[in-house]
Amino acid sequence: MGKLLSVRDLKIEATSYPPGEPPRRISIVNGVSFDLEKGRVLGLIGESGAGKSTIGLAALAYGRGGVEITGGEVTLDGTDILKLGKSGIRGLRGRRICYVAQSAAAAFNPAHRLGDQVIEATLRHGLLSRDAARKRALDLFRMLGLPDPESFGRRYPHQVSGGQLQRAMTAMALCPKPDLIVFDEPTTALDVTTQIDVLAAIKHAIEETGTAALYITHDLAVVAQISDEIMVLRHGDMVEHGPVRQIIEQPVQDYTKALVNMRSIRHDEAPDQSGALLRMENISASYGDGVPVLHDISLHVPRGQTLAIVGESGSGKSTLARVATGLLPPSAGRIEFGGQVLPPARKARSRDDLRRLQLIYQMADTAMNPRQTVREIIGRPLTFYEGLRGSARVARVKELLDQIEMGSGFIDRYPAELSGGQKQRVAIARALAAKPELIICDEPTSALDPLVADGILKLLLRLQEEQGLSYIFITHDIAIVRAIADSVAVMHGGRLVRFGPKSRALAPPFDDYTDLLLKSVPELEIGWLERILATRRRESAGH
Amino acid sequence: MTGFPATLPRPRLWLRRRFPLLARIAERLLLSILLLLTVSVLIFAGVEALPGDFATTYLGQSATPQAVANIRAEFGLDQPVTSRYFEWLGNALQGDFGSSWASGNSVSEQIGNRLGNSLFLAAVSALIAVPLAVGLGVVAVRFRDRLPDRLINILSLAAISLPEFFVGYLLIMFFVVKTSAAAFPATVYDSMSLIERLQVIALPVATLVLVVLAHMIRMTRAAILGVMSSAYMETAELKGLGALRSITHHAAPNALAPIINVVALNLAYLIVGVVVVEVVFVYPGMGQYMVDAVTVRDLPVVQACGLIFAAIYILLNMTADILAIIANPRLRHPR
């Protein structure tokens, strides 16, 4: 097998424009080198800002936004593509190197049919006749397991699901029979049960067509299923590069070891005997259009414990949180808090009712006023609920900053001057300022990098132990549920499919949906995908 | 479970799901009619609320109580407001706006003539302004943040900042008073040929073009830039497509809806801008007719002009909405 792609000492920079300061050059990739042989798959893994997407796009001689390739070589079959002119690069893109974007929903043009977009590059580069290209697209739709392949190409992007779009994007990349495909987090935006199908389709297509690939992701378990080799990146530097087995089983670098040993948190389930703090009975709810989103849901949160609500997007888990907080009054059912019936609408609740139940959002960014300092963000609920002002308020803000392990040095920072993890910590402090009994955490870690997310989870567990807090933890990540929950509620299509203590809810016998959900979560184990698919085939053959 | 409503499809929701395009267009039509009715009430009420009284103004010094009462009875002003409104609306719907209090002529006849003149002025302005604005918008995008873009930006900002009557007087000063390159006043007659008409209205058209051009350029530029920065344009580039193919095949279909919107909104503005410009250039159109009627409190004329301006404005906005709905593939091809 010959060398296909060779990257030597790649340096990439961008210009940043901090407000009120002169523009600055920042380095995004600092001299990364690797080789890729024909037909092999290299996984690029790292946290956000590690430079993995930037490297992937550099293989197409492309810099997104103000990004500039400032040094090094990217050689494809002996030609340095960075030295090619505009038309030379155009001749490579969409012909020898193709790209699969993270959000296929945005990457497809809403105004054209999927089939036309899939064959466009092939036609434009004159690789096949229109009929032959249509035929190839049809074969690819079949290979990728798309429903109704004959008519699939006539649909518009908005007419198919997210998982199907991602597969269609893969078909679009495969259509010109390229030598190399860059997959940029192709399954990150999908639900786990969808992700497994797309992953299987991509793996199958790579094997069938023999294309080489760069597979970019932040999920080590995913990349372990697809790649031959893994390269770990951090802050634009290569940390470790080796065969999949070596990286997973014998990592050398500390950072890689931390990635592999993630989810080191363990929290043993407490017995449910402390009585329910929050109890929701027969809750149904709908938004303005009268279409019900929640159907007859009954569950409770024991005092001082954590209820994890898991489900895919659209399962109604965030809607349930909105009902609990009174933002969306239910159309039927009742809510009890500490033994008292809670008014359904937020406006009918007393200030003390509001104080006892606080909320932490997924996007700490958008949940904070960018023009307020940490002092004001955390201080506001102190004034609102307790009437604290002046030095008493400052003292309490500092105390809260200590509790979230940030220290009083951050008190005059603006949200823009904080990292993602720090912002989420400030959001936690803001919730704590109200001295709540229950905090609803709506996917507070899903936008964070794994190691940072771990720190947030540890903080939440420590606070629970010290202050006897109860949590409703909304997530789609089973690993987090296993790590922190006492009881578990599984939601699907607006219904509660399963509810009980963790040990019972996550143990067989399973209902069909929970079984599918649990089995779809990628495990950090080579051959996991094949094993699951084989089990599925056996099961469907047995039926 | 107590009284949770089953998912009975309400007619509107059902229509929306089944025929999203038709349902939305029908909604717009209904809304426009409703809006027009509301506007008619406002116009009628507004005129009604004007201080002073036509009869007193009309009679001037000789306004004895008896004479005033006679005039009021003659024009039906002694009837209650609501019955006068419905009579006026009913007649207006049949194209009869009553007769002018000042001249006694039929308002509809007068308007027929002048509306044609105004629409001619607006149409000529639009024919020049729309292609020019879209073209300059594309130029601004092509040379983004470079000299042509900045020049277009600064000049259009300057043009926006000047009120149309001021632009009109400036043009008169330069092209009529100083150089006598253009004609003034812009009065047209029935006997004039098309060429003569065009010569005469050169300055009012220039004024109107300057006023709407800036806004259209800036909005076109923003619309195209919005489309150019979307992910599917990156996809096109990563497919190795040329700039021309990317723009015509991938950007244009998506930029169309916002551009149609901008154009229609500005055409509506053109119709309103006509009022002031016509007065400045003494052009015998609707605007001047309305302003003249206001000075003599000729209420039937004021009401008729107001209603027609409102109707054109609403019609253009509705057209913009409907075209934007049709341009949306999500509504054209429902799931």
Read off the pLDDT of residues A172-227 as tens digits, 9 standing for 90 and up.
999 999 999 999 999 888 888 888 889 999 999 999 899 999 999 988 889 999 99
Residue B329 has its nearest CB partner, among A89, A110, A124, at A110
- State the complex-level ipTM: 0.80
**Chain B CB contacts of A94 below 8 Å:** 238-241
The token pair at A313 is 């997007």
CA-to-CA distance for B194 and B182, rounded, in angstroms? 16
CA-to-CA distance for A435 and A446, rounded, in angstroms? 25
CA-to-CA distance for B48 and B60, rounded, in angstroms? 20
Instruction: Map out the domains of chain A with their CATH numbers.
Output: 3-260 (3.40.50.300), 276-507 (3.40.50.300)
Share of residues in chain B with pLDDT > 70 (%): 93
**Chain A CB contacts of B241 below 8 Å:** 90, 94, 120-121, 124
Q: Which residue has the higher pLDDT, A332 or B328?
A: A332
CB pairs under 8 A between A and B: 90
Residue A537: C-alpha distances to residues A148, A236, A530 (Å): 21, 41, 10
pLDDT computed for residue A462 by the predictor: 93
**Chain A CB contacts of B231 below 8 Å:** 101, 103, 106-107
Residues 322-341 of A with CB under 8 A from B: 331-332
Smallest CA–CA distance, residue B163 to chain A, in Å, is: 35
DSSP state of B6: P
CB B24 within 8 A of CB B325: yes
Q: Do B239 and A121 touch (CB under 8 A)?
A: yes
CA-to-CA distance for A242 and A136, rounded, in angstroms? 35
Q: Do B240 and A124 touch (CB under 8 A)?
A: yes
Instruction: Give the sheet arrangement for strand A292-302, strand by strand.
Output: A292-302, A276-286, A332-337, A340-342
CA-to-CA distance for B232 and A106, rounded, in angstroms? 6
Contact of B236 with chain A, judged by CB distance below 8 Å, is answered with yes
CA-to-CA distance for A371 and A71, rounded, in angstroms? 39
Which DSSP string corresponds to B302-320? HHHHHHHHHHHHHHHHHHH
Tens-place pLDDT, residues B163-176: 888 888 888 888 88
Three-class SS of residue A237? strand
A311: left (phi over 0), alpha (psi -120 to 50) or beta: left
**Chain B CB contacts of A292 below 8 Å:** 4, 7
Residue of chain A with shortest Cα separation from B333 = A156
Residues 110-129 of A with CB under 8 A from B: 110-112, 120-121, 124-125
Residue of chain B with shortest Cα separation from A289 = B13
SS3 sequence of A366-420:
CCCCCCCCHHHHHHHHHHHHHCCCHHHHHHHHHHHHHHCCCCHHHCCCCHHHCCH
Tens-place pLDDT, residues B243-284: 888 888 898 888 888 888 888 888 888 877 788 888 888 888
Q: Do A62 and B238 touch (CB under 8 A)?
A: yes
Q: Do A110 and B232 touch (CB under 8 A)?
A: yes
Q: Do A156 and B236 touch (CB under 8 A)?
A: no
Span between the terminal Cα atoms of chain B, in Å? 33
Cβ neighbours for B114, distance < 8 A, ≥ 6 positions apart:
B284, B285, B286, B288, B289
Q: Say how many C-beta atoms besides its own lie within 10 A of residue A449's C-beta.
A: 18
Instruction: Work out the mean pLDDT of chain A and round it to a whole number.
Output: 90
| B8, B228, B239, B326: best to mutate for the A interface, most A CBs within 10 A | B239
Share of residues in chain B with pLDDT > 90 (%): 12
Question: Which residues of chain A are under the pLDDT cut of 50?
Answer: none
Cβ neighbours for A62, distance < 8 A, ≥ 6 positions apart:
A93, B237, B238
> Which of A111-125, B36-50, B306-320 has maximum average pLDDT?
A111-125
Q: Closest Cα to residue A298, out of A6, A496, A148, A127?
A: A496
In a 13 Å sphere around the CA of A42, the CA atoms on its Cβ side amount to: 26
